[in-house]
Amino acid sequence: MMHWSLRRQSSWVQLAGHQGSLQLSDGGEVLKLYSEVEANCLDCLMRDPLRPFVPQYHGLVTKGELCYIRLEDLLSGLRKPVIMDCKMGVRTYQEEELVKARTNATLRSDMYQKMVKIDPSAPSAEEHEQGGVTKSRYLQWKDTTSSTATLGFRIEGIMTEDGSVQRDFRKIMTLAQVTEALLFFTRRQREILEAYHSRLLALSDALKNSLFFRTHEVIGSSLLFVHDHSSRANVWMIDFAKTTPVSDASRLRHNVPWAEGSREDGYLIGLTSLITSLSQAISV
């Protein structure tokens, strides 16, 4: 699996996700493979206070056998864009994934291997002996190897203006390391750091007024940071393929740790971490 692709003629870049799941249309829209969950979210978002923070959604298009979601290209008009994808939340799997994984307690040697590769001391003595771990164990462990579980987000990748992509930020654990990464990403340009900071404060306000946000468990969604050499900088909410409605009675707070069954995602824990870290980067 390749994690990103670069189209030089349009300078469109895919920083995360499976190659082929996104493409640029001839008309300059981003086409993402259809999912009902994501299309439903985008429908709601176009009528929500969060609309200015989401790529414009233009409905669906079918190409051959496949159906796609038509999105505004957030890189349009930028030259040599610099991009960062931050996956938000204190967990990156849905509760239902965990439940499903539990009903099938098969030991997975592939997941055991991945675990050992990242941290040979992570498996228990029993797991070492079995040479396998359950999927539910793996899912829960994985989010503790990045800042996801503690800071409420992780940096998935950064593309710098020369087009190279760095993905080793996933090992970042502390806020000080995040600040370092932000200074690297912005090359310490104060105007850009400030533009990102005020955009995130505006997002924070919009989230408070959003019915969509109160009623959706937001899992695996990213904030996409983009700027170029002109000091324009912007942040967008993307990727709603795992964002699902909760019943109206159980409105979410998003700023409390997750306990199974609560469906809390910790999205605001991540946003607060990012805002704090940007403030620190500005005052360096």
Residues that bind Mg ion (CB under 5 A): 16, 222, 239, 241
Straight-line distance from the first to the last Cα atom of the chain, in angstroms, rounded to the nearest whole number:
38
- Cβ–Cβ < 8 Å for 232, 80: no
List residues bridging with 30 in a β-sheet: 24, 71
Neighbours of 75 (CB within 10 A): 18
Candidates 147, 171, 188, 163; CA nearest to 273 is 147
Q: Which two tokens stand for residue 123?
A: 């498996």
**Of 21 and 130, CB closest to ligand ATP:** 21
Hey, what amino acid is at 127? E
**Of 127 and 239, CB closest to ligand ATP:** 239
Q: Which of 134, 136, 148, 222 binds ligand ATP (CB under 6 A)?
A: 222
- Cβ–Cβ < 8 Å for 53, 226: no
Spatial separation of the C-alpha atoms in residues 144 and 150, rounded to whole Å: 8
Q: Is 260 helix (H, G, I), strand (E, B) or coil?
A: coil
Interaction partner, residue 235 (Mg ion, ligand ATP, none; CB < 5-8 Å by kind): none
Q: Does the footprint of ligand ATP cover residue 80 (CB under 6 A)?
A: no
Interaction partner, residue 281 (ligand ATP, Mg ion, none; CB < 5-8 Å by kind): none
Stretch that binds ligand ATP, among 160-168, 175-183, 219-227, 263-271 (CB under 6 A): 219-227
Stretch that binds ligand ATP, among 105-113, 140-148, 163-171, 236-244 (CB under 6 A): 236-244
Interaction partner, residue 24 (Mg ion, ligand ATP, none; CB < 5-8 Å by kind): none
Q: Which two tokens stand for residue 187?
A: 């090359």
Q: At closest approach, how far in Å is the CB of 86 from Mg ion?
A: 10
Spatial separation of the C-alpha atoms in residues 147 and 169, rounded to whole Å: 10
- Strand bridging mode 233-238 / 222-227: antiparallel
Interaction partner, residue 264 (ligand ATP, Mg ion, none; CB < 5-8 Å by kind): none
Residue 101-140 contact track with ligand ATP, rule CB under 6 A, x = bound: ----------------------------------------
- Cβ–Cβ < 8 Å for 101, 135: yes
Q: Which of 31, 41, 50, 74 binds ligand ATP (CB under 6 A)?
A: 74
The residues of the shown chain that bind ligand ATP, judged by CB under 6 A, are 13-18, 21-22, 30, 32, 55, 71-75, 83, 85, 220, 222, 224, 238-239, 241
